[in-house]
Chains A and B, each alone.
Chain A
Amino acid sequence: MGMTLTEKILAKHAGRDRVEPGELILAKVDLALGNDVTSPIAIDAVRKLGVREVFDREKIALVPDHFAPNKDIKSAGQMKMMREFAREYGIVNYFEVGRMGIEHVLLPDEGLVVPGDLVIGADSHTCTYGALCAFSTGVGSTDLAAAMISGEVWLKVPSTLRIVLSGKPGKWVEGKDVILHIIGKIGVDGALYQAMEYAGDGLASLPMAWRFTISNMAIEAGAKNGIFPFDGATRAYADARAKRTFEIVTADKDAKYAAEMGVDLSALEPQVAFPHLPENTKPLSQVGNVPVDQVVVGSCTNGRIEDLRSAASVLRGRKVHDGVRMLIFPATQEIYLQAMREGLMEVFVTAGAAFSTPTCGPCLGGHMGVLAKGERAIATTNRNFVGRMGHPESEVYLANPAIAAASAVLGRIGSPDEIR
């Protein structure tokens, strides 16, 4: 019996010929990641154990991004703790404010994650790198501490849900809509403990940016990881950025899948997830009249240059509605610079939107765009749980960057086609 993409990568990193779903394995990690919220607990643990050396100074990445730039005195303390640890332990991949970005956009763009890798991160959206045909998954701070010390992680081999994409997406449909549609179908625990593996001729119309968005939200279906096969798009991205050599992994023809579902991309409309779960999706045409107070474009889900271009294409020559605050967060300094060079920043600022330095800030209600009681936002982020962006009685709707930008102009959730 053959193996799925996930099984193959896990077997290789466990030094095994094969692995089966349900098995517990000890696997070597190519990169272990932490941020300013999760690293302090891991750092504390490493120090308390009296460990003076990490397993590999180049295979750990520490990125202050959640409450960076320092939002208050306590978070400044957490950031300082990370910085001092990085210096003391010689962590090569520590990214300071001004050189940093949102971890899940930064690390693949910096070429620190390559196809075939096994990556763990103390952040649930670590599953983003599946877009590169790598295995990556979110873990907790204690797992991060253990990996920093040993270079290994315990994993249960997941069974795989195969998702076959067909057709070509229509106007205003992006990667975000593909994953919101899937989560709407299977639910927030529809792929609990499973790997989601994408396949089908529809892959040809998914650029890398969209694949990152789709893999990013695998966790929102309860999945361990969301992985794409290696193809020309992966090759082009990896060749341009990879800092290490990589090995191409392919799924076996006779691999065994726990289940299979199909998605016809040509039948998709832009999707909007209603509060308070990502599974509460509706096609845009069925949303009705939903006024918004704030619009956020950014995050590890949709803060790439392609996302900013999409939002800018809608905003160009238009103004943000009087009753709306629009906030735009390029995910990295590189993207920030690119947006400036392409004139996107001018489009945003002229339209009356705020353009920020990279941060996760508002996505988790941290800072830089927290909602008051009763306020409503549409965001290109990944979660719309109770209180996610601020007050427990505020609301978050999830959508793609074009729909978010159109909503900023309209003052309510809507399509770019409705703007005259």
Chain B
Amino acid sequence: MKLKGKAWKYGDDVDTDVIIPARYLNTSDPAELAKHCMEDIDAEYAAKVSPGDFIVAGKNFGCGSSREHAPISIKASGASAVIARSFARIFYRNSFNMGLPIFEAPQAVDEIDKGDLLSVDMESGLLRNETKRKEYRIVPVPPFMQELVAAGGLLNYVSARRKGK
């Protein structure tokens, strides 16, 4: 699968409260959550993001709450993936469980600027900064996480196991 879009760049420790503020957690409707995605860190994002765009950030992206509303709002906003130096563990888990692609690529993050055109080839694990004509290798995903993605997420995986018993 190939992903392509422009970069929205943020710093370190982007927390779940700025990804989707708690005042909007009285619903889990993806379209509604998408309207407020990144609102407290970047009021422009939700209105101007184009389908396929990437969120690019520093270390510990998604720290804080366990709210799955965070990856849900990012996915529903149209972003194709998040690229970061590192991810907080619950956000990492949630993203795989609900099918939002996320990639660790520390060097690429340092060299990406806001608005750069990026592409990712998920099979070969290559990230290309089309604007700067540079290529990077994404940190490989553990085999189990690949299985989860292949099964179509955790619930399908669990469901298949259950029927097998």
A139 interface neighbour in B41, B66, B69, Cβ under 8 Å: B66
**8 closest Cβ contacts across the A-B interface?**
A140-B94, A74-B26, A142-B97, A189-B60, A364-B22, A75-B26, A140-B68, A124-B66
As a 0/1 sequence over residues 136 to 151 of chain A, the CB contacts with chain B under 8 angstroms (1 = contact) are 0011111101100110
B26 interface neighbour in A72, A141, A145, A219, Cβ under 8 Å: A72
Contact B144 A150 (CB under 8 A): no
Complex-state Cα separation, A149 to B154, whole angstroms: 12
Complex-state Cα separation, A75 to B27, whole angstroms: 7
Contact B161 A150 (CB under 8 A): yes
As a 0/1 sequence over residues 164 to 194 of chain A, the CB contacts with chain B under 8 angstroms (1 = contact) are 0000000000000000000000001100110
Residue count of chain A within 8 Å CB distance of chain B:
50
Q: Does A211 contact B (CB under 8 A)?
A: no
Q: Does A49 contact B (CB under 8 A)?
A: yes
Complex-state Cα separation, A71 to B26, whole angstroms: 9
Q: Determine, out of B73-81, B82-90, B106-114, B128-136, the stretch whose residues face the partner at the interface.
A: B82-90
Contact B66 A123 (CB under 8 A): yes
Complex-state Cα separation, A74 to B158, whole angstroms: 30
Q: Which residues of B does A touch, CB under 8 Å?
A: 13, 15, 17-18, 21-23, 25-28, 39-41, 59-60, 63-69, 72, 86, 88-90, 93-94, 97-98, 142, 144, 153-155, 157-159, 161-162
Contact B154 A143 (CB under 8 A): yes
Q: Could you say which residues of chain A place their CB within 8 Å of the CB of B40?
A: 386-387, 392
List residues 111-155 of chain A with CB under 8 A from any CB of chain B. Answer: 121-124, 126, 138-143, 145-146, 149-150, 154
Contact A189 B63 (CB under 8 A): yes
Complex-state Cα separation, A126 to B66, whole angstroms: 10
Q: Does A337 contact B (CB under 8 A)?
A: no
Complex-state Cα separation, A143 to B154, whole angstroms: 8
As a 0/1 sequence over residues 388 to 419 of chain A, the CB contacts with chain B under 8 angstroms (1 = contact) are 10001000000000000000000000000000
As a 0/1 sequence over residues 58 to 95 of chain A, the CB contacts with chain B under 8 angstroms (1 = contact) are 00000000110001101100100000000000000000
Q: Does A385 contact B (CB under 8 A)?
A: yes
Given A49-B159, A192-B88, decide whether A24 and B142 contact each other with a Cβ distance below 8 A.
yes
Complex-state Cα separation, A145 to B158, whole angstroms: 10
Contact A149 B158 (CB under 8 A): yes
Q: Which residues of A does B touch, CB under 8 Å?
A: 24, 37-38, 40-41, 44-45, 49, 66-67, 71-72, 74-75, 78, 121-124, 126, 138-143, 145-146, 149-150, 154, 156, 188-189, 192-193, 219, 222, 224, 277, 364-366, 370, 383, 385-388, 392
Given A38-B66, A192-B86, decide whether A66 and B93 contact each other with a Cβ distance below 8 A.
no
Given A143-B154, A149-B162, A365-B22, decide whether A189 and B28 contact each other with a Cβ distance below 8 A.
no
Q: Could you say which residues of chain A place their CB within 8 Å of the CB of B94?
A: 139-143
Complex-state Cα separation, A413 to B72, whole angstroms: 38
Contact B86 A146 (CB under 8 A): no
Q: Considering only CB atoms, which chain B residue lies closest to A364 in the complex? A: B22
B68 interface neighbour in A72, A142, A150, A188, Cβ under 8 Å: A142
Contact A366 B89 (CB under 8 A): no
Q: Could you say which residues of chain B place their CB within 8 Å of the CB of A192?
A: 60, 86, 88-89
CB distance from A99 to the nearest CB of B (A): 22
Complex-state Cα separation, A146 to B162, whole angstroms: 10
Q: Considering only CB atoms, which chain A residue lies closest to B29 in the complex? A: A74
Complex-state Cα separation, A222 to B72, whole angstroms: 21
B18 interface neighbour in A44, A140, A364, A386, Cβ under 8 Å: A386
Contact B67 A189 (CB under 8 A): no
A222 interface neighbour in B23, B63, B93, B153, Cβ under 8 Å: B63
A122 interface neighbour in B15, B66, B144, Cβ under 8 Å: B66
CB distance from A123 to the nearest CB of B (A): 6
Q: Considering only CB atoms, which chain A residue lies closest to B71 in the complex? A: A140
CB distance from A119 to the nearest CB of B (A): 13
Q: Could you say which residues of chain A place their CB within 8 Å of the CB of B22?
A: 37, 66, 364-366, 388
CB distance from A346 to the nearest CB of B (A): 32
CB distance from B30 to the nearest CB of A (A): 10
Can you name 10 A-B residue pairings with CB atoms under 8 Å?
A: A37-B67, A44-B28, A71-B26, A126-B66, A140-B66, A145-B155, A150-B158, A222-B88, A388-B17, A392-B40
CB distance from B75 to the nearest CB of A (A): 13
Q: Could you say which residues of chain A place their CB within 8 Å of the CB of B162?
A: 149-150
Contact A222 B60 (CB under 8 A): yes
Complex-state Cα separation, A72 to B27, whole angstroms: 11
B154 interface neighbour in A142, A365, A386, A392, Cβ under 8 Å: A142
B67 interface neighbour in A38, A149, A370, A386, Cβ under 8 Å: A38
CB distance from B36 to the nearest CB of A (A): 11
Complex-state Cα separation, A388 to B59, whole angstroms: 20
Q: Knowing that A41-B72, A188-B13, A192-B89 are A-B contacts, what are 14 other residue pairs whose CB atoms are under 8 Å apart, sorted by A's residue number? A: A24-B144, A41-B69, A78-B26, A142-B68, A142-B94, A150-B158, A189-B60, A189-B88, A192-B86, A222-B89, A383-B17, A387-B40, A388-B17, A392-B39
CB distance from B52 to the nearest CB of A (A): 24
A188 interface neighbour in B18, B60, B69, B154, Cβ under 8 Å: B60
Complex-state Cα separation, A156 to B153, whole angstroms: 17
Contact B21 A365 (CB under 8 A): yes
Q: Could you say which residues of chain B place their CB within 8 Å of the CB of A45?
A: 155
Q: Could you say which residues of chain A place their CB within 8 Å of the CB of B39?
A: 392
